[in-house]
Structure 1
Amino acid sequence: MAIKTGIAPDSWGVWFPEHEKQPQWWRCLDEMKVAGYEGCEIGPWGYMPNEDPKVLKHALEARGLTLVGATEGGNYLDDVNVEQMLKDIDDIAALLKHFPSAKYIVLLPPMYTNLETGELEMNPELTEEEWAKYCANVQKCADRCAEHGLEGLFHPHVDSHVQTEAQIDRFLQDTTVNLCFDTGHHVYGGGEPISYYKKHADRIPYIHLKDCDLAVKAKMDENKWSFAKAVTEDIMVEPGKGSIDFAVFHQALVDAGYDGWCVVEQDLFPVKSFDVPLEKAAAGRENLRKAGF
């Protein structure tokens, strides 16, 4: 059994393929290595170089980093958007076939609130018909991943239609899609990640390590902040600095025989300074090391 620890570009404030408030991809990879991580994801499709796999392969090998997977997201209630997601999955898979270590594509759902303003953009409650369509389209995306020999994993998310434990339970019941289990998003949604992992360990082959500061979450709810605003107020903190006991979580993984990657994903967009992510990533790595990772 081996638990390996990686990190995602999200921890450098990377939410988009390109944005002036995000560091360049090579700086991100440099600092992942300096902070002490073994592997990484490629972040939003288009952030890392993807036209020639030899470029990315050389960049990762030069830094001793293992590529673990990629992400793709969209609105599962919009058939046109789902078709675009399927095309992206094909393109991502074409790149990942050059990296045998990269087995996963994380499937992200849409938020029903506006990222910047916090205003509702979708009804938080789905009808039975909408729920069936949502699940069917996630399943379609996961099945497309499987056609390429990859596993598409659904990622429950802040302010999405699958974020509470009851919603996740229902999703697991209505699909065969396994989870990318994000500990911070789980806390944000009112759940308890350690007991939930124990309950569904057989459906969780891949984990995002994230910590949530519940005091900031309370302020967010009181002031009706958007998620982007809450991120600038440090709602998601380095693992070990928030509400989760990662030593206990690590023991739960050991007890379940977890064999795979745990990838740190600390929401930071927009970073106050490009010097911030490395400091936080290194602190989070040290906290996780003390917890057994």
Structure 2
Amino acid sequence: MTTTSSPVLDRIRVGSAPDSWGVWFPDDPQQVPWTRFLDEVSEAGYEWIELGPYGYLPTDPLRLVDELARRSLKVSAGTVFTALHRGPGVWDATWEHVAEVAELTKAMGARHLVVIPSFWRDDKTAELIESSELTGEQWGHLAGGMERLAHEVRERYGLDIMVHPHADTHIDTEEHVVRFLDSTDSDLVNLCLDTGHYAYCGGDSVKLIKTYGERIGYLHLKQVDPDILADVVANQVPFGPAVRRGVMCEPPRGVPELPPVLAAAQDLGVDLFAIVEQDMYPCPPDQPLPIAQRTRRFLRGCGA
């Protein structure tokens, strides 16, 4: 009798994030307390986490180091939102926020800063706040601003930025992602490829990894429910309400299939974080842990 074994994904470092516990904001009564998140992410079998929204976890480095050490957890990255397409006028406010997140990220021993472009809808009301398409001038501001941000973050904090294509932002579809990559310096600006967001926006993660592998520096593992997504697309449902409908689902129930994505990432021959994120804001407090445990078992079965 012959048996098949999962590939050894020894270049992939799996973790999770507050997002998988329904956390989108620094403080929100619908979210689980940070202590419960830390307890449960450790219980689920993860050793790597992201900081999530700045202010959700303690921002005092000594306290956070102690809280993480007691649970055998380590930080892979911090996260910031930016609106650099709006031009030089937003730089000072952007840098003020980025600097505080970068400082904490560095203090945790992490090397990455995940940068998410600002939404063109309000993140709570889903109201349209600006055009979903950038002008040529705005694309120039976005590309130039990201390069400047990458340079400053590297010089001052020793961190590399990973730009996160995201639904309801200006870096979303394959067309927009490729335009952004072609407009930026690969020595400075690379991607956090979120498999769920990219599928949500019609992209093929395996194709992107194989075509632009040298630009993929970080992964978020996520799946979308194809039936719910079809309805979301047909009815132009904003991302927030789509999440509440359950458009993001636990693997292996959705798309893209994660084993081919992980195999393509392994083939790049570099160490990559692959952080599980299942958007569930808001969700019942007892929902995340069982999903996280099942997802960790699934990923181990894939070799990660």
Task: Indicate the TM-score class for this superposition, using the shorter chain for normalisation.
Answer: over 0.9
Matches of 1:247 and 1:106 in 2, distance apart? Answer: 23
Matches of 1:258 and 1:81 in 2, distance apart? Answer: 35
TM, length-normalised to structure 2: 0.91
Q: Tell me, yes or no, if the aligned pair for 1:181 and 1:204 is still in contact at 8 Å.
A: yes
| Map 1:26-175 → 2, pairs under 5 A | 26-51=35-60, 53-78=61-86, 79-100=88-109, 102-147=110-155, 148-175=157-184
1:216 paired with 2:262, answer: no
Q: Secondary structure at the match of 1:179?
A: strand
Paired residue for 1:20?
Answer: 29
Matches of 1:279 and 1:56 in 2, distance apart? Answer: 25
Letter in 2 for 1:288: L
Identity %: 37
The one-character-per-residue Cα deviations of 1:36-80 (angstroms, maximum 9, x if unpaired) are 1120001011111012x1111111111111111100003223345
1:288 paired with 2:296, answer: no
Paired residue for 1:242?
Answer: 254
Paired residue for 2:287?
Answer: 276
The one-character-per-residue Cα deviations of 1:150-169 (angstroms, maximum 9, x if unpaired) are 00111111021111112111
Q: Secondary structure at the match of 1:263?
A: strand
C-alpha spacing 1:81/1:240, structure 2 compared with 1 (3 Å):
farther
Matches of 1:211 and 1:191 in 2, distance apart? Answer: 12
Letter in 1 for 2:22: G
TM, length-normalised to structure 1: 0.94
Paired residue for 2:244?
Answer: 232
Letter in 2 for 1:142: A
Q: 1:205 aligns with which of 213, 217, 237?
A: 217
Please list every run of 5 or more consecutive structure 2 residues that lacks an aligned counterpart in the other structure: 1-9
Deviation at 1:289, TM superposition (A): 1.6
Shift >4 Å, 4+ stretches: none
Deviation at 1:130, TM superposition (A): 1.2
